[in-house]
Amino acid sequence: MLDEGRAENLEAGFPEASAAPDVSRRSVRLVGLDRRPSVARTAPAPAPRPARRLDSAERLAAIEAALAALRPRLKADGGDCQLVEVVDDIVKVRLTGACVGCQLASMTVLGVRMRLIEALGFPVKVVPV
């Protein structure tokens, strides 16, 4: 606790403390923060499938059905996709027609993979041969 004499000496030694502007009255403008950030809209997540693994016959039938559903779109562009082999969770396909040498063939394989994941309910690896 300071005695009165020392307190007066301290206040007299710091005259600029009383002349300091009141900071609470200043208005602050933040530049660039007045817009909301954009949010990417994504498609709703597919409904979860049961965790039951398909036996080999059911798995092969589901893969064939998924490829048959994709085939009209591929043929519209002059290509096709044939099932070569299924080993565990690896699906080997052969791209034919206009898909051979196409720069977007990797995107086609990615689309085939996404359709197979939807049909099977578990992740698979699609390998073009």
In a domain, residue 42? The reply is no
In a domain, residue 1? The reply is no
pLDDT, position 6 = 60
Tens of each residue's pLDDT in the chain, 129 residues? 555 656 565 556 555 555 555 555 566 555 655 555 555 566 666 655 555 667 788 889 999 999 999 999 999 989 999 999 999 889 999 999 999 989 999 999 999 999 999 998 889 999 999
Q: Which CATH number is 60's domain given?
A: 3.30.300.130
Distance CA 127, CA 34 (A): 48
In a domain, residue 47? The reply is no
The count of structural domains within the chain is: 1
pLDDT, position 84 = 95
Instruction: Output the CA–CA distances (angstroms, integers) from residue 42 to 39, 45, 56, 72, in the order listed.
Output: 9, 8, 33, 26
Among candidates 77, 86, 87, which has minimal Cα distance to 108?
A: 77
pLDDT, position 115 = 93
Show the domain range for 76: 56-128
Q: Is residue 83 exposed (0-12), middle (13-18) or buried (19+ Cβ within 10 Å)?
A: middle
Distance CA 67, CA 121 (A): 15
In a domain, residue 96? The reply is yes
